[in-house]
Amino acid sequence: MTAPTDGLLFSPTRLGSIDLRNRIAMAPLTRNRAIEGRVPNPLAVQYYQQRASAGLIIAEATQISPLGQGYLDTPGIYSQAQIDAWRKVTDAVHSEGGRIILQLWHVGRISHTSLLPEGEVPVAPSAVQAKAKTFTANGFEDVSAPRALALDEIPGLIQEYRQAARNAISAGFDGVEVHAANGYLIDQFLRDGSNLRTDEYGGSIENRTRLLEEVVRAVASEIGAERTGVRLSPTTPAGDAHDSNPQPLFERAVERLDAIDGLAFVHVIEGATGGPRDNIAFDYAALRAKFRGPWIANNGYDKDSAEAALASGYADVIAFGRAFIANPDLVERLRFGVPLSDFNPDTLYGGGAEGYTDYPSVSGSNVAD
């Protein structure tokens, strides 16, 4: 019989107003299975319900507007049909005692004209094309050249985040995570490699962190700071993200988030997204010291390193991404020391149930026998 482990990972905690039964979060995972109208696939109900034992599910990145889409068949949160479909997902997760929030996404320049409304091109802080590819009906293609957002368009953009947050709550989510990571729009404003603006949103660190704070404040004022979190990725190269000096940039970004009273959490990808944790020298402990609220750490953690991060007080929750794809019962497998299954890379993006809802779980009784 395998005895369960009752470490800190399996203890309850609270992020803002959201009570978690354990400290394991499911990180957002793009799976490209939305149906017509950018509506979540009906299979998503089962997919997320299978993983509801996570203390918190952060649902896949979901675009706040048609212009915010960057990949084929990703879902939105701007239409009533999308809200109604997401409600079925949240109801299913809640029926299992789980908690689920939605990641609010605008890809900015990481897009292709074929994915956008007719006549539109991707938008960005500056008209600088990313050295990146995206997933279209033709497979992986180079992203399209963007145009710079006009200054008078930014208030409307912030309003789209505000409305998307309200829509997420209407769909039954327990909160939202503002996606400010992985080289997407807010991250593009943060970094001097993609932000060449000369107005109040460009140039200095103070100016480049302005949009982040304004978006998060707008979302927090709409649904409550206690239901609002943020995701950052200081050193990832994803989406052609790069900055000449990320340490002071992200420390100031987190200081500005800390000034928003009562934020539910900050969620940080350490290192390259889905890759090495030490790709660029960076002091994550110094970053963490800038925020007084709950902290979610992500990227490359296993059970032992997760427990160490929690025991030291560095993190309050650990997010696991790819491990949840092939292990819907990841919490139980970690608790009982059951080996993890590997996912099939050929079924990650697009398709149906195969590689999505057909990965097996092991029950607690079977584990203990």
> 69, 145, 128: which is closest to 104 by C-alpha?
69
- Give the single-character DSSP code of 22: S
Q: Say whether pLDDT at 365 is over 70.
A: no
Helix, strand, or coil (residue 291)? coil
Q: Which residue, chain included where needed, has tokens 């009570």? A: 19
C-alpha–C-alpha distance, residues 189 and 331, integer Å: 36
Residue 287, in any domain of the structure = yes
Residue 336, in any domain of the structure = no
How much is the pTM?
0.96
pLDDT of residue 363: 65
Which structural domain range is residue 192 located in? Answer: 8-317
Residue 10: how many other CB atoms lie within 10 Å: 18
> 87, 201, 93, 211: which is closest to 161 by C-alpha?
211
Q: Residue 87 contacts by C-beta under 8 Å, 6 or more apart in sequence?
A: 170, 171, 172
> 176, 177, 12: which is closest to 97 by C-alpha?
12
> 251, 355, 274: which is closest to 28 by C-alpha?
274
Q: What is the pLDDT of residues 19-68, one digit of tens each?
A: 999 999 999 999 999 999 999 999 999 999 999 999 999 999 999 999 99
Helix, strand, or coil (residue 284)? helix
Q: What is the pLDDT of residues 81-136, one digit of tens each?
A: 999 999 999 999 999 999 999 999 999 999 999 999 999 999 999 999 999 999 99
Residue 342, in any domain of the structure = no
- The CATH number given to whatever domain includes residue 214 is 3.20.20.70
Tokens read off for 299: 């990227």
Residue 246, in any domain of the structure = yes
Q: What is the pLDDT of residues 225-264, one digit of tens each?
A: 999 999 999 999 999 999 999 999 999 999 999 999 999 9
Strand blocks (E) in 107-206: 123-124, 133-136, 139-142, 147-148, 176-179
- Give the single-character DSSP code of 234: T
C-alpha–C-alpha distance, residues 217 and 49, integer Å: 31
Residue 289, in any domain of the structure = yes
Tokens read off for 244: 């000449």
Residue from 48, 184, 201, 284 carrying the catalytic annotation:
184
Under a CB-based contact definition with an 8 Å cutoff, are residues 359 and 31 in contact?
Answer: no
Q: What is the pLDDT of residues 278-302, one digit of tens each?
A: 999 999 999 999 999 999 999 999 9
Asked if 349 is an active-site residue, the reply is no
Residue 209, in any domain of the structure = yes
Helix, strand, or coil (residue 238)? helix
Number of domains in the chain: 1
Residue 247, in any domain of the structure = yes
Alpha helical stretches, state H, the chain: 43-50, 80-95, 154-170, 185-190, 205-208, 210-223, 246-258, 284-288, 303-311, 323-326, 330-336, 364-368
Residue 364, in any domain of the structure = no
